[in-house]
Every structure is written in C-alpha cells, then in structure tokens.
Amino acid sequence: MSSSRVISCKAAVAWKAGDALVIEEVQVSPPLPLEIRLKVVCTALCRSDFSAWESQAIFPRIFGHEASGIIESVGEGVTEFKEGDHVLTVFIGECMTCRHCKSGKSNVCQVLGLERRGVMHSDQQTRFSIKGKPVYHYCAVSSFSEYTVVHSGCAVKVSPIAPLEKICLLSCGVAGGLGAAWNVADISEGSTVVIFGLGTVGLAVAHGAKLRGASRIIGVDTNPEKCEKAKVFGVTEVVNSNDCNEPIQQVIKRMTDGGADYSFECIGDTEMITTALQSCCDGWGVTVTLGVPKVKPEIAAHFALLLSGRTLKGSMLGGLKPKSDLPSLVNMYINKEIMIDEFITHNLRFEEINKAFDLMREGKCLRCVIHMPK
C-alpha cells in the first residue's frame, strides 16, 4: 500500500537564511499513526514564510504552510479522512480534546499548537530527507513540496467543488484577517476602523470590516501601490504615513474625533502595536495585533493607554478553530459571500517559486499562488 512506502518527489529546499530555494529531490516518509500524506495542489507564499526564511537558523528546511491538497494516504488510526479527500493544511491544529479545544474560548490547541522546531508534533522527528539526512519542516506543514505529511489534526476536509487554487488562501492569511475582524474584535455596524499594513492580512481585515458594516475603514501603509488596491476590499480612506508631518497616531485621532473604535496592527512591528493602541479611542477602543515581529518581540506602552479603557488583543488565525470554522468560510466563498480571487496577484509554476520571494521583497504582490506539478 502507498501508506507504507517512501515517496521521492521535488521540493523547494532552503539551505541557508536568505538564499534562493533549490528544487531538490527529497524522500517523504509514510504517515505515522494519526498522520496523513497529501499531494500538494497549490500553496501560497505568506509573509511569515518570508520572514522565517530571512532570519531563522533551522536549515535545511522546506517552508510553506498556506496550502491545499488531495490526500494520498492515511496513517493508522485516522478515521476522519480517506484517500482522495480535498483538504486545507493549517499551521495550528485542533485536536478536539484538550482544554482549549473544548473551551469554546480559544483556538490555541495544547496538543497541536504552533510548531517552531522544524519537526512533527507526534515524535519530534522529520518526514523529509535528502540522501538519508533530515530536512526540517516549517509549522509542521512544509507545503513547498509536491508531497508532505501533516498531523490529521492539522488538516481540514473541504468541499470537492471548491477550487483548490483559490481556497488555499483560507488556510492562513485571508481567514486570519476575516476572523480578526469578526471573532477577535467583533466589529460593530457603523464603527470606525484603522488598519496598519495593507498586505493580504490587513486587506482581509478590511473586507471583514466592510461586511460587518463599518462606516469608515482607514488604511495606513507606505506602499502607494497597496494604498490604491485597498479600496477594492472596502478601505474608504488611505493614509501614507511617509507623507505625514506628524506622528500617524495624531493624524488618526484627528481624523476620527479622538481615535478609532478598532485598530489593527498587521505589519509585524511591535512599535506599531503601540502606535495602533494610541490610535484607538479612550473608553472602548480595541486594538488587535496580527503581525509576527522579526525583531524586538517586547511591547512597550504607557499604562495610561490601558487605564483609560483601551483593550489590546492578540490574534492567531483570527480566533478561528480550523476544523470547526474553516469549512464554513469555504462555503461562503462558493456562495460568493466573501472574496478570495482579488487577493491573488500572481499565479506561478513551482519552478518559479523564487520569483514569489522576489515579488514579496519588492512589495509588488499580495498573494502569489504556486501551482504544483500535476
């Protein structure tokens, strides 16, 4: 059976921080108990892949986590999936049994949380190798490979009629932004929203805010191209902070009569978290941080910002429980209730994967979807 044999396939391997990925032949082990092996159909480059590739020390490594695929084989004990099922991969799982999964209050699974060491959750080993030497995972997904192995709790079964080349964006960025707007902030109708960073996640927040009926959605970015595209997603006003003669938080407070109802930090800069907190109003202002900082992880803010009634909240995948919530987002896309296509600025062949990194570095893309060989 296929579930008991090693597969050789092509993968884009990162050998050193910041160096171009190299298409290599890798060996992919069979799925162990409660794991599945899937044929990756499409995968997108997320900013967190890019940031980790630039800065992290675990190599060689196969990046990629925002992906869709078709199950090739299942390991022992897997009853939820079968060969041929269409799935999304997710970087945080849902075991359904831990305290957090059962709480109804959290999506931070205690068993299948964010994996940072480049190995699988179950045995702390890798499923990839080259000539017998291990190649490390990223977020226990590693979708920049024709085949990959993930824990069954880190995959979500989706409708077979949903286009895999589109819905792969729902495994991270677009879902994270929508969830932050709807679940974490719980944006109310008629409210004022400010969003720092108009990449995919920030624009997904804007899309979610528009669907919730926000009256003003102010986008802040330094990239003129992104500022222009933002209106498609519901942004009503754009501020290029490079053009301002005073701190951006003062500009926002003046525009909103004392501060926005909701502010979102979607850059991955802890100094901008403070700025976002300063940009929301006293009493009930809510700031949500979604970005992952590359440097200086500590947040510094004057206690008076919180004493005056503001709230600062973190967001992981928008508070969405992967298995419980992502299928409904897929159905909303099928029913034309949410946008995905508009986030895709480039479609690339697998062998062009380094072009996606170039485009992201140059600020010339939202999402590049990489189509794996059929």
* Tens digits of residue pLDDT in 310-322: 999 999 999 999 9
Beta strands of 161-246 (E only): which ranges? 192-196, 216-221, 237-240
Residues forming a β-bridge with 28: 7, 128
- Give yes or no for residue 83 having a pLDDT over 80: yes
Q: How high is the pLDDT of residue 2?
A: 58
Task: Give the per-residue pLDDT at 294.
Answer: 76
Average pLDDT, the chain: 95
Amino acid 297: pLDDT? 85
Cis peptide before 60 (omega within 30 of 0): yes
* Res 3 pLDDT > 90: no
pLDDT, average across residues 146-170: 98
Q: What are 323-365's pLDDT values in tens digits?
A: 999 999 999 999 999 999 999 999 999 999 999 999 999 999 9
**Do strands 155-157 and 22-28 pair parallel, antiparallel, or not at all (unpaired)?**
unpaired
**Per-residue confidence at 374, pLDDT binned at 50, 70, 90?**
confident
Tokens of 160: 């077979």
Closest CA to 235 of 181, 175, 158: 181
Tell me the average pLDDT across 248-270. 96
Residues 135 and 129: beta-carbon distance below 8 Å: yes
Number of other residues whose CB lies within 10 A of the CB of residue 125: 11
Confirm if 300 and 312 have CB atoms less than 8 A apart.
no
Average of per-residue pLDDT across 195-224: 97
Nearest to 241 by CA among 265, 218, 220, 258: 220
Q: Look at strands 344-349 and 367-371 and give their pairing.
A: parallel
Q: What share of the chain is helix, strand, coil (3-state, %, to 5)?
A: 30, 25, 45
Paired tokens of 16: 């050193």
Rounded mean pLDDT of 123-127? 96
Rounded mean pLDDT, 233-251 = 95
Q: What is the pLDDT of residue 1?
A: 44
